[in-house]
Structure 1
Amino acid sequence: MIINNSNSLLRSGLTVSLIFAAGLAGCANDSSVSGSSGLTGDIAIDGSSTVYPITEIVSEEFEGDNPNVRIAIGISGSGGGLSKFCAGETDISNASRPIKAEEIEQCNQNGVEFIELPVAFDALSVVVNKENDWAVCLTADELQTIWSPESQGVINNWSQVREGFPDVPLSLYAPGTDSGTFDYFTEAVNGEEGLSRGDITATEDDNVIVQGVTSDVGGIGYFGLSYLDENLDQLRAVALDNEDSNDGGDGCIEPSVANVEAGIYQPLARPLFIYVKTTSLERPEVKAFVDFYLTQENSELVREAGQIELSASVYDRAKSRLQNMTTGSVFEKISTIGVKLDEVL
């Protein structure tokens, strides 16, 4: 009897162990318990350094819920990113300006269909050295005087920009030609995309602009609003005179989220985009990521990245473009300078 009881206990214990093990296995496969969606795969993204902080923070949140999805994000500028995208090397391209006609042609030649999706608003910030206490507010004409091609070799000192400015050498720092920020600024300031003086320190890394201006009393540069807040301890933002006056009065508007939202910081406010390859959207992990990116509840992530979220109506229109698989760009024949997304979408 003792032997029989022992065998019975052994069988009972084994049964319980098997049931317990089966339960653990079930939990491991249950996405609601493990926190995993079951999605797997890799997503390749490249492009704008301005859009990068938004995409990075959205990616971190998405990967938290989808740990088996790996998202790689490069920063080669809007032009560099779209070149890779149209060559079929990436799934998504970050862009701080619309895709150009020649880039659309490259995509067409390589059979890359895309959907253009606005994801946020940004403002370009003109910045100077902390010790610069004279260029508090600049007019549109003065910005053109500083940055136009005709000024190369001619305007080399702050005293030439405005009467009363000190005798301090002028040094210019700007994004490189592959940057959408460069394209947008040159169009807004000089009237033509890419039109700029050549004697500048150009870089695709905004941190190099920060370092250049902070180490140069006569330095001036520009970059996206998201980089301004984190560098205000080293730089000073320049207000723009909407009334083209030099009195530093009510016409001087500083770059800020509030002023962009109010529509009074013009024309250096702009929409930001992601471009998504349609064939990539056939993969569940890419489709889920883009859906997540366009969730209005995630607008706080846009703010956390230092940018301005879209309005509810623009979010809805962007999501409609995605759901309807509306390909191509709405900006093939229009500029984004002063654009209202509600109207063009």
Structure 2
Amino acid sequence: MNDIDFNEITERIKSGGRLTDEEALALCDIADEELPLLWKAAEEVTSTFIGRKFDSCSIVNARSGRCPEDCKWCAQSAHYSTGADVYPLIDRERCMEAGRRSRNHGIGRFSLVTSGRAMSGQELEKACGHIEALHSEGGQKLCASMGLLGREEMRRLREAGVTRYHCNLETAPSYFPTLCSTHTLEQKLATIEAARSEGLEICSGGIIGMGESRRQRVELALTLRRIDPVSVPINILCPIPGTPLQDSAPLTEDEIVTTVALFRLIHPRITLRFAGGRAALSREAQLRAMRAGINGAITGDMLTTTGSTVESDRQLAADAGLEF
């Protein structure tokens, strides 16, 4: 595919067709002067399939630090000295306070996120008790991100009130072994399959800016298309001192908008969600990314870095013509 017909691609996707894997990879090689055509195509697809609703969610860092995995981007890995908070599973009242605060701000989803390879045994049961208490109060949909779980654990989470499970693929299959040696992408895919088998929706995305190429970002997007998540969070690496990626050069804002546009053309109908690291973007770049496909966000503080406030996100959505 040497000559890219952006109009044909746009109309095909708008008519219910799809971008082929070969076309998606070919778009990685377009010249800089063609990037506005790519952004425009993504904007048209976004306008066609994505309504005016801006999907909000928030998280609580429910167990922090001492993770045995060696993910090179992560402040919570026990392999690196980062000064990240270390604490066991939070108590129920602290969890309830975080959930109520989120709900009172009108945020649609709330998730418990825990460090470590997996939650199991009494710790999982305690977390499920927190989720059951949140579920009994109503008013929000509940999610969980608790590592590499099997069907039995997923079933317990669903019974407690979880409707969506989050497990990021993080990066392209071809690049993942460069960044983590203590677990595999195949184990992540098995976790996602276990969640889906127990009736949970899937939220899965990744982190950009970890040294991967544009083609590898598209490889991630295509891999995600095969697992068919309802929500794809895009994190922008925030280099953490003490981690192997602490000196990573930041992506340009144009490259971030381009990544969003490529993800939107590959995933025309899903929630494409701003996640960690976006606070470093200018307001203009965030609005450009929203026009190119972003229609949701994790709002409030992230796991180990500061995010955006709910009110600033509410105003950002309004400025983009979306309803928070």
The structure whose Rg is larger is 1
Normalised by the length of structure 2, the TM-score is 0.26
Normalised by the length of structure 1, the TM-score is 0.25
Higher strand proportion, which one?
1
